């Protein structure tokens, strides 16, 4: 007797499992539908997907663990963590802005509008904003700017002034310029081609903001060099800071202990998991990103 029926789905990328999620769970593995998916330049792609009510509880700095299709004949065996770029609660949509670097992101880039994408989330601990802060500074480079966009939006909506120092190779890679403009952020673009992204210049800009009392808190993502200068100035001037970090990740939920990074807490080195103890950490406790 031949029986070609599979009781459970065979192992195919992108398939979701038909599970009832108990109401008490905060995380969902769900299939979203891609609404649009456009190249921003030759390396970055912008994807908009539908989102369930649970997915829409995501906060800036939190992430989704995405089961990417493959761009070749093989399969992908790990999910890829991606922080949210924008959260549209009214429209029921989420946006991701990512850089195509390896098999996972190149595979993700093959998704067309109308196709399904399996996402797990929302996951991790996001950014926070203290209601006492009047002005914050976000400093990011490359794809790190995508992670900083939603926290800038949230701060802006709460009436907090945002200065966004956007670093990139050249103007073409200054992602999210319009997005930060729309928020009403004061934008300081710095690029490699004119030398303005030099670390000394970024430090000078930060010091000016501190002197002008426009830096109640620091936020950074995407560059170890920029993080180090923000950490140093933050320590010198008593400015609290938050950093969003990345690491190779397996489960995304905590138990596998794959995505650890080193932190320094009260002079002692400790390992923390980026997926559940981050991805947003205290900038003074981070050692390197």
Partner 1 sequence: MLDLSVRIGQVELQNPVMPASGAFSTEYASVIDINRLGALVAKTVSRNFRAGNPPPRAAEVEGGMINSIGLPTKGLQYFLDAQLPDYKQYSPPLVASISAEDADDFQAMARDINVPGVDVIEINISCPTRKPGGGNFALHAEHAHDIVTRVRAETDKPIWAKLSPNAGEIVDVAMAAEDAGADALTVANTILAMKINVNTFRPALGNKIGGMSGPAVKPIVLRMVYQISKAVSVPIIGCGGISNAEDVIEYMLAGASAVEIGYVNFRNPTAMISIINGLEDWCNKRGIRRIADLTGAVRDGDMETDTYVAAAQGF
The contact set with partner 1 (CB under 8 A) reads: 3, 5-11, 16-19, 21-22, 24-29, 67, 74-79, 120, 247-248, 250-261, 271, 276
The nearest distance, CB 128 to partner 1, in angstroms, is 20
Task: Give the separation between CA 119 and CA 32, rounded to whole angstroms.
Answer: 7
Residue 195, token pair as written in the block: 């030398």
Nearer to partner 1, 63 or 219 (CB): 63
121 in Cβ contact with 30 (< 8 Å): no
The nearest distance, CB 248 to partner 1, in angstroms, is 5
Nearer to partner 1, 252 or 278 (CB): 252
Looking at residue 172, what DSSP letter applies? G
37 in Cβ contact with 113 (< 8 Å): yes
Task: Give the separation between CA 175 and CA 172, rounded to whole angstroms.
Answer: 8
The nearest distance, CB 117 to partner 1, in angstroms, is 14
User: In the chain, which ranges are continuous DSSP H helix?
Assistant: 103-108, 144-157, 177-183, 199-211, 224-237
Nearer to partner 1, 158 or 256 (CB): 256
Nearer to partner 1, 70 or 284 (CB): 70
The nearest distance, CB 20 to partner 1, in angstroms, is 8
92 in Cβ contact with 56 (< 8 Å): yes
Nearer to partner 1, 99 or 261 (CB): 261
In the three-class reduction of DSSP (H, G, I as helix; E, B as strand; rest coil), residue 243 is classed as strand
List % helix, strand, coil for the chain (3-state, nearest 5).
20, 35, 45
Nearer to partner 1, 14 or 189 (CB): 14
The nearest distance, CB 158 to partner 1, in angstroms, is 27
101 in Cβ contact with 109 (< 8 Å): no
Nearer to partner 1, 97 or 251 (CB): 251
| Whole-angstrom Cα Rg for the chain | 20
The nearest distance, CB 284 to partner 1, in angstroms, is 21
CB contact set of 74 (below 8 Å; sequence gap of 6+): 103
268 in Cβ contact with 278 (< 8 Å): no
H or E element in which residue 47 lies: strand 44-50
63 in Cβ contact with 140 (< 8 Å): no
């Amino acid at each position: 007797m031949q029986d070609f029926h599979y009781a459970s789905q065979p192992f195919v990328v992108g398939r979701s499992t038909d599970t009832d999620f108990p109401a008490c769970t905060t995380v969902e593995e769900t299939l979203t539908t891609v609404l649009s998916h456009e190249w921003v330049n030759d390396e970055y792609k912008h994807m908009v997907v539908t989102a369930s009510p649970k997915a829409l509880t995501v906060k800036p700095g939190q992430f989704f663990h995405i089961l990417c299709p493959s761009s070749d004949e093989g399969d992908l065996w790990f999910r890829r963590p991606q922080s949210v770029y924008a959260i549209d609660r009214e429209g029921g949509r989420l946006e991701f802005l990512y850089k195509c670097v390896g098999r996972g992101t190149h595979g993700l880039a093959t998704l067309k509008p109308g196709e399904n994408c399996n996402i797990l989330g929302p996951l991790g601990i996001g950014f926070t904003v203290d209601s006492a802060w009047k002005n914050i500074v976000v400093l990011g480079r490359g794809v790190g700017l995508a992670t900083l966009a939603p926290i800038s939006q949230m701060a802006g909506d709460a009436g907090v002034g945002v200065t966004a120092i956007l670093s990139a190779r050249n103007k073409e890679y200054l992602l999210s310029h319009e997005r930060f403009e729309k928020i009403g952020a004061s934008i300081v673009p710095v690029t490699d081609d004119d030398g303005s992204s030099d670390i000394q210049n970024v430090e000078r800009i930060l010091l000016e903001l501190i002197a002008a009392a426009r830096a109640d808190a620091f936020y950074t993502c995407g560059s170890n060099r920029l993080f180090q200068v923000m950490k140093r100035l933050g320590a010198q001037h008593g400015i609290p800071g938050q950093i969003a970090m990345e690491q190779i990740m397996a489960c995304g939920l905590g138990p596998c202990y794959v995505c650890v990074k080193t932190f320094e807490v009260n002079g002692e080195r400790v390992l923390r998991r980026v997926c559940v103890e981050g991805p947003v950490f205290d900038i003074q406790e981070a050692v390197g990103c």
